[in-house]
Amino acid sequence: MKDSTRENLSYFGLFLKLAAVRKEIIPDKVSFGEDKNCYFLYFEPGEIKSDKVVIWIHGGGWNAGTPKDFAYVGQHIALEGYRCISLGYRLSPKNKYPAQIEDVCRGYNAAIKYLREKGIDVSKIVVTGPSAGAHLSSILCYSKADQDRYGVDVSNVIGYIGFGGPYSFDEPQTNTLRILLNQLFAKDFDRKQGEPVSLMDKNHIPMLLIQSEHDGLVDFACGERFAKKAEETGNSCELYRVIDKKNTHSWYTAGLFFETREENKGLDRFYSFIEGL
């Protein structure tokens, strides 16, 4: 069976898992813009086990998804003992790039301000995101041009984790990804200005790229190309090949948070990477 077919068939199982999630932590909702999706959710653990804060930027093909839709991720991370921010942004095709990275940078600054006002240490931030969120979060962390443009200081970011990211637009593209990119970018926009591999600069942030060779949506070569650029640039990078049976795009980028570390090796690598920072 084709990986793209396996990806399409996975959605029903994901929806069943989503419906069964227990809401154990009620997050705070904080708006940082006029658009309805420009807000973040803050998840405070019942038992804080780490002084690291995880900032999650959701996926959804740039045209769908909200922090509320992915609240189960914040629940999972908080139940592991980490404070967690789940961050939203304007969606395509109504809003063309760079609206999304503008919002991510603005939301990041708003989140840091919010945490400081609560008296929370923000010296150990871990930024992470899946799919479209990996695209945006990687630019936030590694593009000096965007950091300067939007006034973002990432000196307190100690680690980056991306799941299934479309980091390079030169690799083979599925029809679905091609359509999503056409919705994201205006016709005359220079896509190199929104391509993580073209924007990467050298900095201090070690990265973990979690990528599947059976993704069905984003070619594994995207992760390989980004890892190669990191090596060439002098950035620390680990490219982790997904070995779990549930290795299609939606399962390993977001569905893994329906499982436990014992059940899902990719999820365990996510947390062990954070623990080792």
Query: What pLDDT, in 10s, does the model give residues 159-170?
Result: 999 999 999 999
Q: How far is CA 240 from CA 10, 161, 249, 257, 269, in A?
A: 22, 10, 14, 17, 8
CA atoms within 13 A on the CB side of 27: 27
- Region 185-193: mean pLDDT is 97
Predicted pLDDT of residue 7: 83
pLDDT at 241 over 80: yes
User: Percent of the chain scored above 90 by pLDDT?
Assistant: 91
pLDDT at 19 over 80: no
pLDDT band at residue 1, thresholds of 50, 70 and 90? confident
User: Percent of the chain scored above 70 by pLDDT?
Assistant: 100
Global pTM reads 0.97
Render pLDDT for 62-80 as a digit per residue (tens, 0 to 9).
999 999 999 999 999 999 9
Predicted pLDDT of residue 258: 95
pLDDT band at residue 14, thresholds of 50, 70 and 90? confident
- Region 91-109: mean pLDDT is 98
Cis peptide before 93 (omega within 30 of 0): yes
Distance of CA 261 to the CA centre of its chain: 19
Whole-number Å distance between alpha carbons of 76 and 82: 9
pLDDT band at residue 13, thresholds of 50, 70 and 90? confident
pLDDT at 10 over 90: no
pLDDT band at residue 133, thresholds of 50, 70 and 90? very high
pLDDT at 20 over 80: no
- Which strand (E) or helix (H) includes residue 8? helix 3-9
Render pLDDT for 77-90 as a digit per residue (tens, 0 to 9).
999 999 999 999 99
Structural domains of the chain ordered from first start = 3-276 (3.40.50.1820)
Predicted pLDDT of residue 11: 73
The contacts of residue 123 (CB under 8 Å, 6+ apart) are 156
Predicted pLDDT of residue 156: 98
Whole-number Å distance between alpha carbons of 161 and 207: 6
Dihedral, CA atoms, 214, 169, 35, 65, nearest 10 degrees? Answer: -10
* Average pLDDT taken over every residue of the chain: 96
Predicted pLDDT of residue 123: 98
Helix (H, G, I), strand (E, B) or coil at 48: coil
